[in-house]
Structure 1
Amino acid sequence: MELLKRTQKRKESALAILAELELLAKWNRIGQAHLVGATAYDLLVDYDIDIETFSVSPNAAEAMTMLSDLTRHPKVIELKYRNYMETPFNGYYFKIQYQNSPSEIWNIDMWLFSQTRNGPVSRDLVAPMNKVLTTESRQCILSIKEDLLQKNISLPSIYVYQAVLDNDIRCTEDFLVWIEQQDVNIQTGWRPS
């Protein structure tokens, strides 16, 4: 249960940061914003927040203008932008680093997509994940994710979710064997079965 308490505490911090920076309200001015990823599933082990925004006409300059006032915030230590329109991601990427304390730096990853974007998006995973997650599966996922973080192994979390929920993986050692058979260099459209 300690894992669940830690992730809940991190989620409370994540939501407080989002409210302080008014990020969802800002993104909702230019499209439809969605909190996605580990924060949305209550599976947060690292200081990481993910947002996807879908717009009729995505405009990177408009998004940077909207975010620019955050450069004056004393806890925002970095703001980045990258154009991924000509890649399989087919979107604009923005990143904020927020320093809550010297040892607690949050990465806030934000994507701006067209409403007509083809391909997998995290927004479509939130409801199916929250429908199938149980206390037991959450604990298994959190345990594996914490082990990977401690071992400094960086892999997309979606593979941990897939391993636990669809392949009955229950420990890090079994996950590391299973992941060897996966192509982690492609975008996956996996959804829990």
Structure 2
Amino acid sequence: MGDILQTAKEIQKKAWSVIEETGVVKHWTSIGATINLVGSLKTGLMINNRDIDFHIYTNPFKLSDSFLAVSRFAENKRIKTISYTNLLEDEDKCIEWHAFYDDQDGNSWQIDMIHILNGSFYVDYFENVAERISKVLTNETREAILRIKNAIPIDKKVMSILIYQSVIEGGVRSLEAFWRWMEQNPNEGIVTWVP
């Protein structure tokens, strides 16, 4: 068990240094935004997928502010690409920014910055999900989640929340059992499961 936990600890330490090196928090707070860490780094369940997730709020919401924060963030020479998706008219009611940062060791990190409209159903939603997951984790479920996540090939996209649900709610403890669970529990779109 110690090896998988140590591996997770090391990648999470590096993730925190990426946050610091990019100045992502500073750039968003410079426009008056509240920026919240969500996802696997927040829950301590990051292992092999270098993906850092933030949910961001401004009041009032101004699209120009979103572009201003990202333009400052983009000045970092290690930021290689940034994509933008406008979902303000969709269910999500947000702007999605996906940036790719190359660290000093040649690893690529994805930094997701989701700027959410104040009227969105998802305001503070995933912050609550991360908090609930953190509260219900045991040593056994943490290890099972990390082992399953680590065994999934990087090029195979699986939403982490489905792994968490399968382990915490479904009692899954292996990659093979997780694939069976996925077949029995198909899911598309935004997953709204909360433990």
**Does TM-score exceed 0.5, indicating one fold?**
yes
Equivalent position SS for 2:172 = coil
Match of 1:34 in 2: 36
The question of 1:108 aligning with 2:121 is answered: no
The sequence identity of aligned pairs, in percent, is 23
How far did residue 119 of structure 1 move?
Answer: 4.2
Contact 1:156–1:184 (CA<8 Å) still a contact in 2?
no
How far did residue 102 of structure 1 move?
Answer: 6.0
Deviations 1:67-97 (A, max 9, x none): 2133332211112211011222221001111
Match of 1:134 in 2: 138
Unaligned runs of 5+ in 2: none
In structure 2, C-alpha distance between the alignment counterparts of 1:90 and 1:25, rounded to whole Å = 24
In structure 2, C-alpha distance between the alignment counterparts of 1:93 and 1:64, rounded to whole Å = 11
Match of 1:16 in 2: 17
Match of 1:83 in 2: 86
Equivalent position SS for 1:187 = coil
Deviations 1:90-123 (A, max 9, x none): 2100111110146410000110112331148321
Equivalenced residues, count: 191
Distance 1:97 1:35, change over 3 A: same
Matches for 1:157-168 after TM superposition, within 5 Å: 157-168=160-171
Contact 1:119–1:189 (CA<8 Å) still a contact in 2?
no
Contact 1:30–1:63 (CA<8 Å) still a contact in 2?
no
In structure 2, C-alpha distance between the alignment counterparts of 1:16 and 1:97, rounded to whole Å = 15
In structure 2, C-alpha distance between the alignment counterparts of 1:87 and 1:183, rounded to whole Å = 22
In structure 2, C-alpha distance between the alignment counterparts of 1:181 and 1:59, rounded to whole Å = 42
How far did residue 174 of structure 1 move?
Answer: 0.7
In structure 2, C-alpha distance between the alignment counterparts of 1:15 and 1:115, rounded to whole Å = 27
Deviations 1:106-159 (A, max 9, x none): 000110112331148321212111111122111100111111135x32111100
Unaligned runs of 5+ in 1: none
In structure 1, C-alpha distance between the alignment counterparts of 2:68 and 2:130, rounded to whole Å = 29
Greater displacement, 37-46 / 20-29? 20-29
Match of 1:144 in 2: 148
How far did residue 167 of structure 1 move?
Answer: 0.9
Q: Which consecutive aligned stretches of 4+ in structure 1 deviate over 3 angstroms post-superposition? A: none
In structure 1, C-alpha distance between the alignment counterparts of 2:148 and 2:62, rounded to whole Å = 38
Equivalent position SS for 1:139 = helix
TM-score of the superposed pair, with normalisation by structure 1: 0.91
TM-score of the superposed pair, with normalisation by structure 2: 0.90
How far did residue 35 of structure 1 move?
Answer: 0.4
The question of 1:190 aligning with 2:190 is answered: no
Match of 2:60 in 1: 57
